[in-house]
């Protein structure tokens, strides 16, 4: 990398930060872009500077180094973390390994220690930068992966009903172990607005990321398809789909940062026998399609969208079967063209498919009802009266086309509105939760997502998209405004007010209040 790698130093002792800074050689390839005395300030600097490395003490007030590393691992997975501490307990070292911390330095740190640490770290970062940035390497991997697109067993097996023992043996003869386990199937898609070579290279890039992120799982495999990428993972630690939320979020962030590509990912239900693989592929594809149509975030789990089974009237005609597919996934032109094809009664050649116009209307109405049910829309909210009777009253084919087309669009609008209402309700529940629990010092993004039974990444996306804020900033704002109210209108001691708004330490309350208001609590009360 031609530019220096950005680093942030975090230690609650000013002189320690100064000594470490003085020992960093200007020729090391690293530049300290920010210093912080506690974990809260460090998070603000990380959000501002997007550093490559955070070098942090372990024992600090408010947020210790372990918790800071855990937050960075979750929210900024591309940033490396290194610990520096005077504490050498095994427990800290174990947690450092668990959080993928790149180094663990003991105080007092010498110039030689720093030089050796930065030299090793630069090798790691240079290799990662080459992996992520050099177009020549990506192009080479693309050429090497072309055979994977041809005659791929896993790609062709997606379209089967289920896999036979013979099918599985074909895979196992290549050294793949497909014993019973905890499998998940996923499909990754993205918008392609470039020439075909660039889009295919992006797929290979995403595939390389997948291999890197899921390397520790018992089994992982991916292959490319025209729409994006399909992957298979298996590991006994997978208990539900959201167990891989952090890994998928890491892939999404790397793609955004290094390819300027927004990913959508659909995940199947857990399957325990690989013979169920084709159905799981269909589940992941359906979940992915929902991400493009419904407002559910970038990672969609089939469990979240699975509808109750409905008994369908059997329709053998291929045109009607295609019609039901287009209702769900087609755009407006696809829908119009499909309706026209089905209702093209003008030519004798087409009439052989329409032996009874009344029966056709019944089947079309059934398709509309099934579509409404699949997207959780009550038909009576969209269509007044008896649908079949209303369709039979229409005078000609053009009126029937218009009626069906308008009904489909209204059902889609109704569904989108219900999804929007649902997200608005979630945001309202967040603010209600803050209002009721702001005095609890343990309130966090994890506690509220557990309360609402949603993922951290989904709630973070909602708040950012709907309000343009983070949960922590809204919580601090609410606490500070409550504190101002108490300081202005009560005689409570400042130490008591701190506890009443969720701060166990009056020092940190004063620090946060002055940062928010520009005055200390005492100064604010005196000026009120």
Q: What is the mean pLDDT of residues 294-318?
A: 58
Domain made up of 5-133: CATH architecture: 3-Layer(aba) Sandwich (3.40)
Look up the pTM and report it: 0.39
At 224 the pLDDT is 86
Choice among 10-24, 338-352, 420-434 with the minimum mean pLDDT: 338-352
* Mean pLDDT comparison of 156-165, 269-278, 450-459, 461-470, highest-scoring range: 269-278
Distance CA 446, CA 71 (A): 11
Q: Is 59 helix (H, G, I), strand (E, B) or coil?
A: coil
Distance CA 255, CA 78 (A): 11
At 214 the pLDDT is 93
Comparing CA positions, the residue from 123, 100, 106 lying closest to residue 28 is 123
Choice among 152-156, 270-274, 392-396 with the minimum mean pLDDT: 392-396
Examine the pLDDT at 99 and tell me if it is beyond 70. no
Strand ranges in 156-245 using DSSP code E only, listed in sequence order: 183-190, 219-225, 228-234
pLDDT confidence tier of residue 357, bands split at 50, 70 and 90:
low
The C-alpha torsion from 94 through 97 and 102 to 107, rounded to 10°, is: 0
At 447 the pLDDT is 87
pLDDT confidence tier of residue 325, bands split at 50, 70 and 90:
confident
The CATH classification number of 438-527 equals 1.10.10.60
pLDDT confidence tier of residue 278, bands split at 50, 70 and 90:
very high
| Sign, CA torsion 211/213/215/219 | negative
Q: H helices of 306-396, where?
A: 318-329, 332-342, 348-351, 357-374, 387-393
Higher-scoring residue by pLDDT: 68, 196: 68
At 353 the pLDDT is 36
pLDDT digits 0-9 by tens, 122-138: 888 888 887 776 666 66
What are the backbone angles phi and psi of residue 491, rounded to the nearest 5°? -105, 15
Strand ranges in 107-259 using DSSP code E only, listed in sequence order: 183-190, 219-225, 228-234
Examine the pLDDT at 90 and tell me if it is beyond 60. no
Per-chain mean pLDDT for the chain: 81
pLDDT digits 0-9 by tens, 34-61: 999 998 899 999 999 999 999 998 888 8
What are the backbone angles phi and psi of residue 521, rounded to the nearest 5°? -55, -40
Domain made up of 152-305: CATH architecture: 2-Layer Sandwich (3.30)
At 312 the pLDDT is 33
Choice among 358-367, 448-457, 489-498 with the minimum mean pLDDT: 358-367
At 513 the pLDDT is 93
Examine the pLDDT at 467 and tell me if it is beyond 80. no
Examine the pLDDT at 246 and tell me if it is beyond 80. yes
Q: Give strand pairing partners of 133.
A: none
At 481 the pLDDT is 92
Sheet architecture: strand order including 103-106 = 30-36, 5-10, 53-57, 80-85, 103-106
At 150 the pLDDT is 38
In the chain, count H helices and then E strands: 24, 10
**∠ at Cα 251 (3, 452), nearest 5°?**
125
At 174 the pLDDT is 64
Contact 501, 438 (CB under 8 A): yes
Examine the pLDDT at 304 and tell me if it is beyond 70. yes
pLDDT digits 0-9 by tens, 399-420: 888 888 888 888 877 766 665 5
Higher-scoring residue by pLDDT: 196, 209: 209
Examine the pLDDT at 118 and tell me if it is beyond 60. yes
At 221 the pLDDT is 86
Residues ≥6 apart with Cβ < 8 Å to 200 = 142, 224
């Amino acid at each position: 990398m031609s530019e220096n790698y950005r680093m942030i130093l975090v230690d609650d002792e000013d002189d320690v930060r100064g000594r470490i800074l003085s020992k960093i050689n200007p020729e090391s390839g690293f530049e300290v872009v920010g210093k912080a005395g506690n974990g809260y300030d460090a998070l603000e600097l990380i959000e501002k500077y997007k550093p490559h490395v955070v070098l942090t003490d372990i024992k600090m007030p408010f947020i210790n180094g372990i918790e800071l590393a855990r937050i960075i691992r979750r929210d900024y997975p591309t940033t490396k973390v290194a610990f520096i501490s005077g504490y050498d307990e095994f427990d800290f070292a174990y947690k450092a390994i668990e959080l993928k911390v790149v180094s663990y330095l003991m105080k007092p740190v010498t110039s030689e220690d720093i030089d050796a640490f930065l030299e090793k770290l630069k090798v790691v970062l240079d290799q990662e930068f080459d992996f992520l940035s050099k177009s020549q390497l990506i192009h080479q991997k693309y050429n090497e992966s072309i055979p994977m697109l041809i005659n791929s067993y896993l790609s062709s097996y997606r379209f089967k009903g289920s896999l036979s023992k013979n099918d599985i043996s074909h895979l196992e003869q290549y050294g793949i172990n497909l014993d019973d386990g905890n499998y998940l199937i996923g499909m990754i898609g993205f918008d392609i607005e470039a020439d075909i070579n660039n889009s295919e290279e992006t797929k290979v890039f995403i595939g390389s990321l997948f291999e890197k992120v899921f390397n520790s799982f018992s089994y992982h495999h991916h292959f490319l398809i025209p729409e994006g990428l399909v992957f298979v993972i298996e590991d006994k630690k997978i208990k539900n789909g959201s167990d891989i939320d952090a890994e998928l979020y890491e892939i999404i962030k790397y793609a955004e940062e290094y390819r300027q590509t927004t990913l959508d990912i659909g995940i199947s239900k857990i399957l325990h026998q690989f013979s169920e693989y084709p159905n799981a592929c269909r589940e992941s594809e359906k979940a992915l399609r929902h991400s493009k149509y419904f407002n559910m975030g970038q990672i969609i789990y089939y469990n979240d969208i699975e509808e109750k089974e409905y008994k369908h009237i059997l329709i053998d005609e291929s045109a009607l079967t295609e019609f039901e597919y287009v209702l769900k996934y087609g755009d407006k032109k696809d829908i119009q063209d499909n309706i026209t094809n089905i209702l093209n009664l003008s030519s004798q050649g087409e009439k052989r498919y329409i032996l009874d116009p009344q029966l056709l209307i019944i089947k079309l109405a059934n398709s509309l009802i099934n579509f409404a049910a699949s997207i959780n829309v009550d038909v009576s909210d969209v269509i007044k009266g008896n649908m079949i009777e209303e369709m039979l009253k229409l005078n000609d084919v053009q009126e029937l086309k218009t009626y069906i087309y308008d009904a489909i669009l209204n059902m889609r609008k109704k569904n989108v509105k219900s999804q929007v209402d649902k997200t608005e309700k979630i945001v309202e529940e967040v603010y209600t939760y803050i209002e009721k629990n702001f005095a609890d010092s343990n309130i966090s993004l994890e506690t509220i997502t557990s309360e609402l039974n949603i993922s951290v990444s989904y709630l973070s996306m909602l708040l950012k998209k709907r309000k343009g804020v983070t949960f922590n900033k809204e919580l601090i704002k609410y606490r500070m405004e409550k504190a101002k109210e108490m300081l202005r209108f009560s005689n409570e001691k400042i130490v008591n007010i701190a506890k009443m708004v969720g701060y166990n330490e009056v020092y940190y309350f004063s620090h946060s209040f002055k940062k928010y208001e520009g005055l200390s609590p005492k100064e604010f009360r005196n000026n009120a």
